[in-house]
């Protein structure tokens, strides 16, 4: 794979007319191969002047007639980076979602991806729980369960997880996760319940049984979202491709 090339990862997960849908893609960030898959959260900067925000990858597809590789993501901003600013009602771990999803060509999305998040100080530091101690295959199974429990979409990510594992990504840190407010509350409640539990029983299954989330990476930052806002300048961004979203919606509803 060429350093600047993009390629789909895993088998297609859907086909509708001229559109083929996928679960993940591979690109290079600072010379290293990286895979982003549906449901992943990652830091982006939409323009050099914009603040860093969080993107959640929600849809990937290829338009076969134009050969365009496309993505749809949900963006989350800190309250202080929204037009209304932060107020006393906002929680310290809260982010606010842009009301409209952003549709961007993959070649532009990878330019948005921001690798230096050292100044990002917000979010609850997640407590690590143990995955099943069954060797590398056991870890992959734990990751698979985490993926399926997080997305709850019914998609099979086993092929994507294998590709990630081959790149060593199953051992790298997931830097951030955005939960719904109820999920966040359950997670905080779980933390209180496991405070005095011996570490030997703190497995991903135990966390899920208590209504929490299975965190298999190294201490990501946990945030939550319960509100949306209209971004005043995002529509002016030249990378936004709303016309592809309109075509997709029109075709799928016909």
* Phi, psi angle pair for 10, to nearest 5°: 85, 175
**How far apart, in whole angstroms, are the C-alpha atoms of residue 230 and residue 233?**
9
With 0-12 / 13-18 / 19 or more C-beta atoms within 10 angstroms meaning exposed / middle / buried, residue 73 is buried
* C-beta neighbour count of 168 within 10 angstroms: 10
Pseudo-torsion of CA 2, 107, 167, 21, nearest 10°?
Answer: -120
Report CA torsion sign: 113, 22, 165, 129.
positive
For tokens 């029983």, the residue is 201
As a residue count, the chain comes to: 254
Global confidence as pTM: 0.84
Contacts within 8 Å (CB) and 24+ apart, 201-210: 202/129, 202/130, 203/129, 203/130, 203/131, 203/132, 204/129, 204/130, 204/131, 204/132, 204/142, 204/145, 204/146, 206/129, 207/129, 208/149
pLDDT of 134 reads 38
Which tokens sit at 121? 């100080």
Of 49, 58, 1, 47, nearest to 24 by C-alpha is 58
Averages of pLDDT over runs of 10 residues in the chain (254 residues) are 74 90 92 90 92 95 90 96 95 96 94 82 72 46 53 72 78 74 86 67 55 60 94 87 64 51
Phi, psi for 162 (deg, rounded to 5) = -65, -45
Q: Which residue has the tokens 């990862």?
A: 9
Nearest to 103 by CA among 69, 67, 78: 69
Class of the 5-250 domain? mainly beta
* CA neighbor of 191 nearest in space, from 111, 240, 149, 128: 128
From the centroid of its chain, how far is CA 14?
20
Please list, in sequence order, all residues whose beta carbon lies within 8 angstroms of the beta carbon of residue 105, skipping any fewer than 6 positions away: 68, 69, 70, 71, 239, 241
Alpha-carbon distance of 236 to 214, in angstroms, equals: 38
């Amino acid at each position: 794979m060429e350093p600047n090339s993009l390629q789909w990862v895993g088998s297609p997960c859907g086909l509708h007319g001229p559109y083929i849908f996928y679960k993940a893609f591979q690109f290079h960030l600072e010379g290293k191969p990286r895979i982003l898959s549906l449901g992943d959260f990652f830091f982006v900067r939409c323009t050099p002047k914009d603040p860093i925000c969080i993107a959640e990858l929600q849809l990937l597809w290829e338009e076969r007639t134009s050969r365009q590789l496309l993505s749809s993501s949900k963006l989350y901003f800190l309250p202080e980076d929204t037009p209304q600013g932060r107020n006393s009602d906002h929680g310290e771990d809260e982010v606010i979602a842009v009301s409209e999803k952003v549709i961007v060509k993959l070649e532009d999305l990878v330019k948005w991806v921001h690798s230096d998040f050292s100044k990002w100080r917000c979010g609850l530091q997640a407590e690590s729980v143990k995955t099943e101690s069954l060797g590398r295959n056991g870890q992959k199974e734990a990751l698979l369960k985490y993926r399926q429990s997080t997305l709850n979409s019914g998609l099979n990510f086993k092929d994507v997880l294998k590709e990630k594992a081959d790149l060593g990504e199953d051992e790298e840190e997931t830097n951030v996760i955005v939960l719904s407010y109820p999920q966040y509350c359950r997670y905080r409640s779980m933390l209180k319940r496991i405070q005095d539990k011996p570490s030997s029983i703190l497995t991903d299954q135990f966390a899920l049984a208590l209504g929490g989330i299975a965190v298999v990476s190294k201490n990501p930052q946990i945030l939550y979202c319960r509100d949306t806002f209209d971004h005043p300048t995002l529509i002016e961004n030249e990378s936004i491709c709303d016309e592809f979203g309109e075509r997709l919606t029109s075709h799928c509803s016909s």
